């Protein structure tokens, strides 16, 4: 092949001669290639900085202000403030300007602080030192200063700072071992390979002499795909070209293991790394409660405009009579009187808008911000969520979403490190029906009390000994395990024998490690692979050597792997292990039924099962097998397909040996947590990069799938047998047919036959489902909608082999469905960041896979089990509290402003305020704000132990039930009713008036001076007491703080009014409130009237609550009633016992 023509073609692409560019050229060591070899193309690449923060120093103020004024209320109050500055209005501009400034400032400080935390975390990563080879020496520089083309030296247990192509390693074979836990969730060791022609460059001086370029694709987010080539320039002009694939690519975030050091060249840096491309851009998340608040604000804004419009029209209708024109004492100038009527009307309209603008509660936003910020400390202070092992408490990275924790409908969780601890333990192995249970073998660590192996069932006898030993040999040989001859790794002792420095095993599959360690416990020890020979130690401490001839690697379609070995006696064996579904059909002899029964039993227990089989090969059969494999490997076209066909021919006619059962330990209480989430009405999806079999076993163990769950597969294997269209419609018919019968069962009361479905889908099939189809015929269909319909009717869904961006796509798909459910994503690795950012609520786990998930999440916890309390308790409380806060604020502001609207009908629509300026300013700031703030922080309508014990209570608040339109309308109508009672009750009190001897107007009913401010003060007094007592009636959880704040607020109002009206304040240019409040309190009938009006206002709400609790109680209300009954019984018993003791004492006396 002419590589120079290919190079020139790529060059033309890069220089723009074609319509698109899909490649880049990287000069290793940033050295220009030898003269005459190729044109030097200077390309610009980003630096290696990672940015997870949202603001910078320069854009914080404009960007934050823009985001804040996107809120309807903030924008509205800005307009009102400007109107007050421009025209003459009944109230001062300060009444709107100061609260708005306070809200904007508090919010900006809170969001700025949260982003500053992210900046600190970014700086810690970007300023991390890395070793770079320059001028033949190893130099240190900050990670953010790394450039494409730099040659990096990475040492054992260090994390790769960017995406690298492996050039050489400390190992002679040019391999290195890597863990990609933070990328795809797999903490097992994977093997990567250096370029064959560069693996000899082991020192900094040797690497400096390397002249080479890399031509590769432009950055793209697929973690498992990479295409490129390296051109190595030696003495001759024509370079040596070698292909590069994903096995040569080391990804940012992965960690080097069991390799002293490597040399690699940076090809993708900063936000172009594959991991960064899998990040979602940060966007402002808004809770469902905030969206409801905005909707309510629009309604109230329409009410406000309607009020102002009605008053403006009625004013000019009333003034149409010449006798009712503007009175002379309004002191209007002639110029103002002669202005055009439309201008005057518009000015009056704006004045009425300002007069009634208090119906939109700006202080609600201040209170909500304070409630969210202060309320988040209850999570931080929760001792039940403190992890003693890590010494960590939960983190709250943003408090804007507290109430969203109480509205979650879908939970998307990672598997490895989130649901599981990723510690594999061999539970048992079955040989011809005989079960062996090695005790407590977990990743090389033997727990106390495991002295001898435990034999279950009868002994296999002398005839079965050979089969038993062949089974153990098969497991010692059929694997890809590597041996490390050291005592410790990651600071953990990994030897089998206590007190001895010995070897331990590493592999890309933790299952294989568990099996090999289990065999060691049962007497067969795998020693090493040396010179293509596998060495094992049998029970007699004799070494056996087997030549490794071929490895037929595992793949997810075949679901098995095989090895061909030759014993020292010259016999050829093919050992195979795999899933029962892929082994049993290929078995021709052996105790199939006994083994199958044991496999089914272990599968029900949620264990990961594998079957083991073998067959002997003659020399001729081995030669045929080698020829078949060689032909398939040399085929450049459809190599994978040819290999699969060869494997299918080779792997058959087996003799069954037995089966194994391995347990992947779940995190503590993970299964209980998932079960509780199901009972709470949430759907749990597992999104993992792991294999389907592994993930499915975990789902059974965690009770996501149950024994009676019928598993539906939407995987590559099935879509190869049928078209995607046919598979989707088959699954759809299956679940919808059951869905129809389920509905009938519910109505007939016979739901016992309901079939529970679980769906399994892999990443490749998901891509096909989400791919837009151009086929608009009946055969095309909308795959997304069909897929969503299948998922809705499944109790649980497992998505395996997911790339990080696919996880986010799944979350986005569910978010955008017609129900618009609230989603939560939880994970512990960098591969989970995308879905964490995409979900309504993102939770990171501070685990073993780094802190990237925790840094980018809204909340961070230490264990999956803490999710239960976070949602069922904290989320429940947060939602209940803030829902009451929002409804109560609108209610009390309707009570506040509607009397002002009614008053305009009695004052000639002159824009005369009903209340004094001090009352207007302090009503929302001082008189009524503190009780609702404290309520929203401390209210517990049900004890938290009950909430944890009965997850179904979560359903009572689902789907934003407390902020639905009927509830909102009820609160609004209640406010209107109370306002009408306040106003017309006061009007009735002042109905009959007479003049006193000194010319003052006196109300004959109450013996009070009749006047505008006396009337307004009476209305305001009833208002303050009513709305405060309404909150007291809604409070279930009383503490001394509640009593102090509620009764203290009422006392503060009284004391303030006495001082405000009892002293002539020298700084005021008016003294209209002097002696008003004291004169009102001096009237006995006024006291009685205030009490009666308060009772009349509160009575309908009390009656409504009593009737609803008696006739249509919710689950929550039933529990409240039961708890109240128990308390009453306890009090009654105590009183009864006290009376008996008293009678007994009297009798004795």
> What is the Cα–Cα distance from 134 to 140, expressed in whole angstroms?
10
Residue among 788, 436, 789, 511 at smallest CA distance from 662: 511
Order of strands, sheet of 23-27, starting from the edge strand that comes earlier in the sequence: 23-27, 212-217, 228-232, 240-244
1082 and 1060 Cβ atoms separated by less than 8 Å: no
Query: Which residues are part of the catalytic machinery?
Result: 414
Question: What is Dmax (Cα atoms) for the chain?
Answer: 133
**Spatial CB neighbours of 488, under 8 Å, sequence gap ≥ 6:** 494
With H, G, I as helix, E, B as strand and everything else as coil, classify residue 772.
coil
Burial of 700 (0-12, 13-18, 19+ CB in 10 A): buried
Beta pairing class for 859-861 and 395-396: antiparallel
CA distances from 1122 to 938, 945, 1033, 1104, 1129 (A): 22, 15, 19, 20, 10
> What is the Cα–Cα distance from 1009 to 1011, expressed in whole angstroms?
6
Taken in order 135, 137, 140, 142, is the CA torsion positive or negative? Answer: positive
> What is the Cα–Cα distance from 758 to 678, expressed in whole angstroms?
13
Tokens of 89: 């209005």
Burial of 476 (0-12, 13-18, 19+ CB in 10 A): buried
For 880, left (φ over 0), alpha (ψ -120 to 50), or beta? alpha
- Encode burial over 491-501: b for 16+ CB neighbours within 10 A, e otherwise: eeebbbeeeee
**Spatial CB neighbours of 178, under 8 Å, sequence gap ≥ 6:** 189, 190, 191, 192, 250, 254, 255, 256, 257
What is the Cα 316 distance to its own chain's centre? 57
Orientation angle between helical segments 1012-1034 and 1040-1062, nearest 10 degrees? 180
212 and 32 Cβ atoms separated by less than 8 Å: no
Burial of 430 (0-12, 13-18, 19+ CB in 10 A): buried
Residue among 936, 1024, 928, 925 at smallest CA distance from 100: 925
> What is the Cα–Cα distance from 785 to 782, expressed in whole angstroms?
6
Q: What is the DSSP letter of 574?
A: E
Taken in order 788, 792, 793, 797, is the CA torsion positive or negative? Answer: positive
Beta pairing class for 434-437 and 420-431: antiparallel
Helix/strand/coil (H/E/C) assignment for every residue in 890-911: HHHHHHHHHHHHHHHHHCCCCC
Backbone angles phi, psi at 657, to 5 degrees: -100, -45
**Spatial CB neighbours of 638, under 8 Å, sequence gap ≥ 6:** none
Tokens of 59: 């854009």
Backbone angles phi, psi at 177, to 5 degrees: -110, 140
48 and 252 Cβ atoms separated by less than 8 Å: no
């Amino acid at each position: 092949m002419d590589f120079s023509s290919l190079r020139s073609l790529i060059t033309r692409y890069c220089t723009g001669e074609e319509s698109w560019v899909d490649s880049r050229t990287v000069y290793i060591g940033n050295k220009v290639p030898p003269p005459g070899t190729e044109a030097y193309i200077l390309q610009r690449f980003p630096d290696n900085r990672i940015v997870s923060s949202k603001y910078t120093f320069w854009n914080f103020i404009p960007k934050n202000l823009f985001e804040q004024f996107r809120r309807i209320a903030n924008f509205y109050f800005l307009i009102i403030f400007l109107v007050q500055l421009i025209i003459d209005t009944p109230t001062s501009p300060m009444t709107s300007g100061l609260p708005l400034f306070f809200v904007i400032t508090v919010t900006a400080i809170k969001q700025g602080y949260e982003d500053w935390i992210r900046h600190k975390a970014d700086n810690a990563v970007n300023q991390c030192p890395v070793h770079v080879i320059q001028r033949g020496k190893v130099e240190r520089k900050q990670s953010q200063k790394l450039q494409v083309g730099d040659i990096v030296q990475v040492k054992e247990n260090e994390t790769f700072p960017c995406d690298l192509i492996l050039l050489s390693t400390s190992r002679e074979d040019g391999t290195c071992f890597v863990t990609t836990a933070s990328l795809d969730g797999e903490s097992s060791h994977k093997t990567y390979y250096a370029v064959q022609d560069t693996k000899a460059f082991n020192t900094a001086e040797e690497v400096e002499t390397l002249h080479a370029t890399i031509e590769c694709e432009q950055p793209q987010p697929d973690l498992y795909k990479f295409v490129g080539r390296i051109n190595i320039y030696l003495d001759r002009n024509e370079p040596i070209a070698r292909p590069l694939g994903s096995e040569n690519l080391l990804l940012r975030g992965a960690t080097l293991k069991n390799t002293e050091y490597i040399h690699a060249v940076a090809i993708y840096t900063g936000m172009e790394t594959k991991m960064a491309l899998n990040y979602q851009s940060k966007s402002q998340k808004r809770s469902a409660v905030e969206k409801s608040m905005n909707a309510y604000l629009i309604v109230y804004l329409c009410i406000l405009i309607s009020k102002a419009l009605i008053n403006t029209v009625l004013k000019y209708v009333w003034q149409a009579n010449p006798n009712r024109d503007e009175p002379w004492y309004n002191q209007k100038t002639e110029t103002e009187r002669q202005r055009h009527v439309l201008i005057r009307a518009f000015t009056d309209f704006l004045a009425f808008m300002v007069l009634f603008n208090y119906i939109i509660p700006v202080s609600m936003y201040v209170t909500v911000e304070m409630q969210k910020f202060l309320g988040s400390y209850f999570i931080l202070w929760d001792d039940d969520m403190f992890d003693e092992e890590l010494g960590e408490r939960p983190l709250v990275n943003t408090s804007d979403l507290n109430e969203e924790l109480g509205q979650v409908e879908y939970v998307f969780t990672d598997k490895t490190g989130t649901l599981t601890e990723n510690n594999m333990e061999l539970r048992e192995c079955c040989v011809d029906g005989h079960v062996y249970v090695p005790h407590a073998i977990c990743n090389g660590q033997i727990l106390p009390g495991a002295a001898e192996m435990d034999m279950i069932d009868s002994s296999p006898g002398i005839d079965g000994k050979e089969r038993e030993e062949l089974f153990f040999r098969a497991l010692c040989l059929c694997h890809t395990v590597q041996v490390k001859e050291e005592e410790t790794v990651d600071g953990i002792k990994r030897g089998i024998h206590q007190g001895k420095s010995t070897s331990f095993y590493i592999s890309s599959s933790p299952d294989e490690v568990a099996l090999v360690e289990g065999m060691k416990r049962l007497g067969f020890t795998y020693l090493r692979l040396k010179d293509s020979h596998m060495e094992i130690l049998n029970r007699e401490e004799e070494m056996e050597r087997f030549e490794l001839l071929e490895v037929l690697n595992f793949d997810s379609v075949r679901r098995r792997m095989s090895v061909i070995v030759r014993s020292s006696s010259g016999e050829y064996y093919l050992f195979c292990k795999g899933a029962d579904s892929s082994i049993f059909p290929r078995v021709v002899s052996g105790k199939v039924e006994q083994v199958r029964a044991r496999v089914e039993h272990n599968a029900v227990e949620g264990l990961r099962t594998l079957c083991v089989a073998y067959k002997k090969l003659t020399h001729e059969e081995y030669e045929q097998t080698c020829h078949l494999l060689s032909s398939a490997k040399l085929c450049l076209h459809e190599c994978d397909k040819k290999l699969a066909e060869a494997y299918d021919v080779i792997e058959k006619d087996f003799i069954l040996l037995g089966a194994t059962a391995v347990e992947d330990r779940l995190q503590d209480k993970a299964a209980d947590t998932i079960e509780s989430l199901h009972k709470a009405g949430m759907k749990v999806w597992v999104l993992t990069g792991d294999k389907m079999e592994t993930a499915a076993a975990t789902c059974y163990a965690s009770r996501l799938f149950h024994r009676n769950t019928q598993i539906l597969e939407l995987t590559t294997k099935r879509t190869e047998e049928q078209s995607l269209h046919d598979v989707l419609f088959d699954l759809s018919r299956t679940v919808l047919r059951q869905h129809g019968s389920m509905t009938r069962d519910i109505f007939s009361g016979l739901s016992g036959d309901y079939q529970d479905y679980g769906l399994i889908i892999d990443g490749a099939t998901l891509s096909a489902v989400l791919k837009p189809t151009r086929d608009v015929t009946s055969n095309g269909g909308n795959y997304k909608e069909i897929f969503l319909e299948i998922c809705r009717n499944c109790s649980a869904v497992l998505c395996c082999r997911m790339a990080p961006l696919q996880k986010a796509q799944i979350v986005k798909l569910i978010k955008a469905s017609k129900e618009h459910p609230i989603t939560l994503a939880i994970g512990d690795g960098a591969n989970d960041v995308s879905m964490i950012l995409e979900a309504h609520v993102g939770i990171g786990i501070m685990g073993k896979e780094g802190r990237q998930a925790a840094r980018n999440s809204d909340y961070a916890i230490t264990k999956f089990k803490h999710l239960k309390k976070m949602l069922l308790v904290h989320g429940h409380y947060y939602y209940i509290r803030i829902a009451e806060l929002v409804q109560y604020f609108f209610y009390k502001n309707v009570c506040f402003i509607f009397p002002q609207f009614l008053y305009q009908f009695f004052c000639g629509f002159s824009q005369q305020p009903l209340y004094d300026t001090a009352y207007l300013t302090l009503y929302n700031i001082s008189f009524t704000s503190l009780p609702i703030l404290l309520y929203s922080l401390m209210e517990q309508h049900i004890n938290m132990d009950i909430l944890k014990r009965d997850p179904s209570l979560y359903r009572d608040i689902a789907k934003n039930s407390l902020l639905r339109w009927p509830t909102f309308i009820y609160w609004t109508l209640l406010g209107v009713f109370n306002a009408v009672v306040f106003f017309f009750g006061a009007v009735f009190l002042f109905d009959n008036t007479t003049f006193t001897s000194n010319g003052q107007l006196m109300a004959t009913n109450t013996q009070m001076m009749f006047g505008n401010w006396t009337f307004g003060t009476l209305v305001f007094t009833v208002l303050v007491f009513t709305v405060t007592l309404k909150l007291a009636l809604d409070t279930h959880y009383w503490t001394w703080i509640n009593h102090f704040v509620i009764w203290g607020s009422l006392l503060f109002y009284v004391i303030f009014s006495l001082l405000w009206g009892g002293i002539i304040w020298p700084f005021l240019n008016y003294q209209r409130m002097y002696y008003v409040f004291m004169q009102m309190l001096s009237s006995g009938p006024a006291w009685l009237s205030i009490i009666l009006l308060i009772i009349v206002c509160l009575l309908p709400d009390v009656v409504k609550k009593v009737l609803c609790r008696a006739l249509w109680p919710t689950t929550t209300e039933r529990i409240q009633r039961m708890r109240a009954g128990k308390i009453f019984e306890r009090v009654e018993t105590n009183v009864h016992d006290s009376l008996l003791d008293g009678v007994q004492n009297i009798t004795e006396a």
